[in-house]
């Protein structure tokens, strides 16, 4: 029997890799909804190939182009935030939530409210609205499966174990492409997105370079796995072979190892609680030779410190951190600020004394996000 799937963010890196796995197992899947921000050509091509029921483009200006691209296919075309949420709310066996940034929060919540299974590749949504999202998951009986390689690794290491027996969890970080570069102020966008191990989109690649990606993952882990923040650790592991570790009370430490390819954690979620084939070659440990580990340098890369402080502060702080970082990264990619100013801008926004109260609903989360973006935009400084 075929399983149904919707992919939110189908033209991004995670979305494309999800479609690759679906393509390789076409007899097992029925694609219901595909969405994209503005890449009409790729969205329409994928919708036609997989015979989706509906294709949605977030930017309403491209609705006419999408309709033209899908003409004669029988595939429904729609556009805008409301259409994204409507598509996400359609009942399916699994929803791949891969829209980057807080823009994915509304569609993720719409999928959660259907009580289905959500493979979450959008860490920003859980960072910005952790309490709101986890409460909605409990209320609607939804299942949240982590797609991020680190959280998926923890999820796998916890199978057969009890969270009450866990002493600590450790997220690994590659350190990104800039770990050995001395003058971070001169880093270009091209350097920042040239990740040595992973094939990711521009925003996530910059987050990896600044270590904000790991900071956001720390907050995400705090919501996914009920441990105190001081029991969630980060270690730099440049080879990206071990994706996370779980230490148990008896001294045993379980680690999940795998290739640096997102199709591995995606497949884990698509097949859960079973397993499925992927095109990945087995690890060749002799060829890898050695694995090294370092403590994060929070002086040169303060993002993990800022994220931990935001998580400890709670309330609106994580949502503010995420929004300010999105503005700062966009400014860096547009060459409006230096790489070294990204963390400075985020810290400046977090240090403002009149931050909003803790959000309790989706609407309040979105207002906090909008307010933080305005604050970050006001204090943007040119290079």
Is 351 annotated for ligand binding?
Answer: no
Strands 166-173 and 143-146: unpaired
Q: What residues of the chain score a pLDDT lower than 50?
A: 383
Is 123 annotated for ligand binding?
Answer: yes
Give 14: exposed, middle or buried? Use CB within 10 Å, 0-12, 13-18, 19+.
buried
In angstroms, the CA 341 to CA 103 distance is 24
Q: Which pLDDT does position 383 carry in this prediction?
A: 44
Q: Which pLDDT does position 101 carry in this prediction?
A: 79
Is 14 annotated for ligand binding?
Answer: yes
In angstroms, the CA 357 to CA 365 distance is 10
Is 213 annotated for ligand binding?
Answer: yes
CB 80 within 8 A of CB 64: no
Is 152 annotated for ligand binding?
Answer: no
Helix (H) or strand (E) holding 307: helix 303-313
Is 39 annotated for ligand binding?
Answer: yes
Is 228 annotated for ligand binding?
Answer: no
In angstroms, the CA 5 to CA 165 distance is 34
Tell me the domain boundaries of the chain: 3-146, 160-259+282-298, 314-383
Is 113 annotated for ligand binding?
Answer: no
* 239: three-class secondary structure by DSSP: coil
Is 190 annotated for ligand binding?
Answer: no
For 237-284, the pLDDT digits (tens) are 999 999 999 999 999 999 999 999 999 999 999 999 999 999 999 999
Those residues whose C-beta lies under 8 Å from the C-beta of residue 36, and which sit 6 or more positions away, are 9, 10, 11, 12, 15, 42, 43, 55, 56, 57, 58
Is 12 annotated for ligand binding?
Answer: yes
Helix (H) or strand (E) holding 231: none
Q: Which CATH architecture has domain 314-383?
A: Orthogonal Bundle (1.10)
Q: What value, to the nearest 5°, has the Cα angle with vertex 306 and ends 219 and 374?
A: 95
Is 139 annotated for ligand binding?
Answer: no
Which CATH homologous superfamily contains domain 3-146? NAD(P)-binding Rossmann-like Domain (3.40.50.720)
Is 11 annotated for ligand binding?
Answer: yes
Q: Which pLDDT does position 381 carry in this prediction?
A: 57
CB 108 within 8 A of CB 337: no
For 113-156, the pLDDT digits (tens) are 999 999 999 888 899 999 999 999 999 999 999 999 999 999 99
Is 252 annotated for ligand binding?
Answer: no
- pTM of the complete model: 0.92
Is 122 annotated for ligand binding?
Answer: yes
């Amino acid at each position: 029997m075929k399983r149904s799937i919707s992919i939110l963010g189908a033209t991004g890196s995670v979305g494309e890799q999800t479609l690759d796995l679906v393509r390789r197992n076409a007899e097992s899947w029925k694609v219901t909804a595909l969405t994209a921000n503005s890449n009409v050509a790729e969205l329409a091509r994928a919708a036609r190939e997989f015979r989706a029921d509906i294709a949605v483009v977030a930017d309403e200006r491209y609705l006419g182009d999408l309709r033209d691209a899908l003409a004669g296919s029988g595939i429904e075309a729609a556009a805008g935030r409301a259409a994204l949420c409507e598509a996400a709310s359609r009942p399916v066996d699994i929803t791949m939530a891969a829209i980057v940034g807080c823009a994915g929060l509304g569609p993720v919540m719409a999928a959660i409210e259907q009580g289905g299974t959500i493979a979450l590749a959008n860490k920003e949504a859980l960072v910005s609205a952790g309490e709101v999202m986890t409460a909605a998951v409990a209320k609607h009986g939804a299942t949240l499966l982590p797609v991020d390689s680190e959280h998926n690794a923890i999820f796998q290491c916890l199978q057969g174990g009890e969270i009450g027996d866990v002493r600590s969890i450790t997220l690994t970080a590659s350190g990104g492409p800039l770990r050995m570069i001395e003058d971070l102020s001169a880093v270009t966008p091209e350097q920042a997105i040239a990740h040595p191990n992973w094939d990711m989109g521009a925003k996530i690649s910059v987050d990896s370079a600044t270590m904000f990606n790991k900071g956001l993952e720390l907050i995400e882990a705090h919501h996914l796995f009920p441990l105190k923040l001081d029991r969630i650790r980060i270690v730099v592991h440049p080879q990206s072979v071990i994706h996370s570790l779980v230490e148990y009370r008896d001294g045993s430490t379980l680690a999940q190892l795998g290739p640096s390819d997102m199709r591995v954690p995606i497949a884990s979620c698509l097949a859960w609680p079973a397993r499925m084939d992927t095109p990945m070659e087995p690890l060749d440990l002799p060829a890898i030779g050695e694995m090294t580990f370092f403590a994060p340098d929070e002086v040169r890369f303060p993002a993990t410190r800022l994220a931990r402080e935001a998580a400890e502060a709670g309330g609106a702080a994580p949502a503010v951190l995420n929004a300010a970082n999105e503005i700062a990264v966009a400014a860096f990619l547009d060459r409006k600020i230096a790489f070294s100013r990204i963390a400075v801008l985020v810290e400046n926004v977090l240090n403002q004394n009149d931050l909003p109260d803790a959000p309790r609903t989706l609407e309040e989360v979105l207002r906090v996000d909008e307010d933080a973006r305005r604050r970050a935009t006001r204090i943007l400084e040119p290079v």
